[in-house]
Amino acid sequence: MRPLCKCKQHPCAVNYKKGTKTFYRSLCERCLRNGVNHGIPLWKQRGYDKKDYCEKCAFESNYPEQFNVYHIDGDLQNCRPSNLKTICANCQRVLQKQGVKWKQGDLLPDF
């Protein structure tokens, strides 16, 4: 059985075969092509977890797909916990439509 890649999603790529023994690479084909953290958002790589409620309107759901991670300052590279908030899809659409940026002082800090 093939070992899993570091991404823990795909089996490692075959490196070479010698006789009856197969040697594997440490990464899968996708990680070799696209980098080790392919498809994993930067905020998740930095340890932020989406909440199960909207931090703007307090909507709660059992389905995490209804929530997005919002960068308060608009910089997708700034993944400090104080810059990230979980919002529902509806609030995100309203913010995009109105063009309103959240100000850092509009949100209460996490305790």
- pLDDT tens readout for residues 65-83: 899 999 888 888 888 988 8
- Mean pLDDT, range 34-38, rounded to an integer: 70
Question: Would you say residue 28 has pLDDT above 60?
Answer: yes
Q: pLDDT confidence of 7, banded at 50, 70, 90? A: confident
Q: Which runs of E-coded beta strand occur in 1-111? A: 14-18, 21-24, 67-71, 84-88
Question: Would you say residue 19 has pLDDT above 90?
Answer: yes
Instruction: Find where tokens 């991404």 sit.
Output: 7
Query: In this structure, what token pair is assigned to residue 75?
Result: 């910089």
Question: Would you say residue 26 has pLDDT above 80?
Answer: yes
Single-letter amino acid code for the residue at 28 = C
69, 50 contact by CB (below 8 A): yes
Distances (CA, A) of 82 to 17, 53, 66: 50, 17, 21
Choose among 98, 82, 78, 80: nearest CA to 90: 98
Question: Please, which residues have CB within 8 angstroms of residue 75's CB and are 6 or more apart in sequence?
Answer: 83
Model pTM score: 0.59
As a whole number, the mean pLDDT across the chain is 83
36, 6 contact by CB (below 8 A): yes
